[in-house]
Amino acid sequence: MRRNSPLTVIFCLFLLVSWNTFAEAQLTKLKVGYSAISEVDLPAWVAKEARIFEKNGLDVQLIYFTGGTTAVLALVSGEVPISQVAGPAVVNSALAGSDVIMVAGGATSLDYWLMSRPEIKKAEQLKGGSVAISNFGAASDFVARYALDKIGLTPGKDVTIVQAGGISDRLAAVLVGRVQATVLNPPASFIGQKKGLNILADVAKLGLAFQNTGVASSRRFNREQPDIVRRYVRSQVEVSYNQKVWKQEIGRRTLS
């Protein structure tokens, strides 16, 4: 058998590198914001790590913003053209005159617990204390006020609402005693429960229909780049209906 000449090997390597470069060049680069480290943002990460975005022609860079208000400000400024964010921040921004819109529903329920320090076991014990949220106008702000009202407390009168940052920051604030309570969703809520925090209100059981985290963009970007928006939404829909991908990714994260 004839041996491959060095020139042939070099030529084949050149073709391989050229093909990979060409394939990467066909992907549309896209910056996407997300506003919480929680299970409602998992579809975006699954789509990225399972290469479903690539399948739909997108090279997505996921950028973390602390809270929905900050994520929407990034949309308004043009820092990102698409963001994973809940309804309240989008509505508040639109009412203020921005062209931000929700293009896909995503999560439509409130999977939150109002959680307090171990020594606070009843709602009345929270009077005079403070409750941490991410930032004013975000989903955590709405959820905290709604939950407090449902357990008979008036925000701003009976308790103080404090901006503390993302979910991990809020959890830490409660654990060290900087605040007396906060609203958390999985996985932080499960961590809080293991640390001894009490559940003052299971917001999911209160029956409120709510636009939680979905896909937001601007009217301008949606008008000028409709194909990119469709491909992004298509990727998330594919993740949502592909249970095998979900199980594989969740299993991988559990073992890592």
DSSP secondary structure of 45-72: HHHHHTTHHHHTTEEEEEEE-SSHHHHH
Largest CA distance in the chain: 88
Up-side HSE of residue 84: CA atoms within 13 Å toward CB?
A: 29
pLDDT of residue 67: 82
pLDDT of residue 29: 97
- The answer to whether the pTM exceeds 0.75 is no
Over the stretch 117-169, which tens digit does the pLDDT of each residue have? Answer: 999 999 999 999 999 999 898 889 999 999 999 999 999 999 999 999 888 99
Q: In 26-138, which ranges are continuous DSSP H helix? A: 42-49, 52-55, 68-77, 87-95
pLDDT of residue 246: 53
**Torsions phi, psi of 97, nearest 5?**
110, 0
Range of lowest pLDDT (19-33, 78-92, 212-226): 19-33
Over the stretch 75-111, which tens digit does the pLDDT of each residue have? Answer: 999 999 999 998 888 999 999 999 999 999 877 778 8
Are 109 and 204 spatial neighbours (Cβ–Cβ below 8 Å)? yes
What is the distance between the alpha carbons of residues 54 and 60, in angstroms, rounded to a whole number? 8
Radius of gyration of the CA atoms of the chain, in A = 22
**CA–centroid distance for 118 within its chain:** 28
Planar angle of CA 37, 38, 41, nearest 5 degrees: 90
> Considering the chain, what percentage of its residues have pLDDT values greater than 90?
58
Are 80 and 98 spatial neighbours (Cβ–Cβ below 8 Å)? no
**Torsions phi, psi of 194, nearest 5?**
-65, -30
Task: List the strands of the sheet with 198-202, edge to edge.
Answer: 160-163, 130-133, 181-184, 113-116, 198-202
**Cis (ω within 30 of 0) for the bond into 118?**
no
**CA–centroid distance for 95 within its chain:** 22
Range of lowest pLDDT (110-119, 126-135, 239-248): 239-248
For residue 211, the SS3 value is: coil
User: Has residue 23 got a pLDDT over 80?
Assistant: no
What is the distance between the alpha carbons of residues 192 and 214, in angstroms, rounded to a whole number? 25
Question: Residue 107 class from Cβ within 10 Å (0-12 exposed, 13-18 middle, 19+ buried)?
Answer: buried
Q: Minimal CA–CA distance to 162: which of 134, 189, 139?
A: 134
User: Has residue 22 got a pLDDT over 70?
Assistant: no
User: Has residue 192 got a pLDDT over 60?
Assistant: yes
Mean of the per-residue pLDDT values of the chain: 85
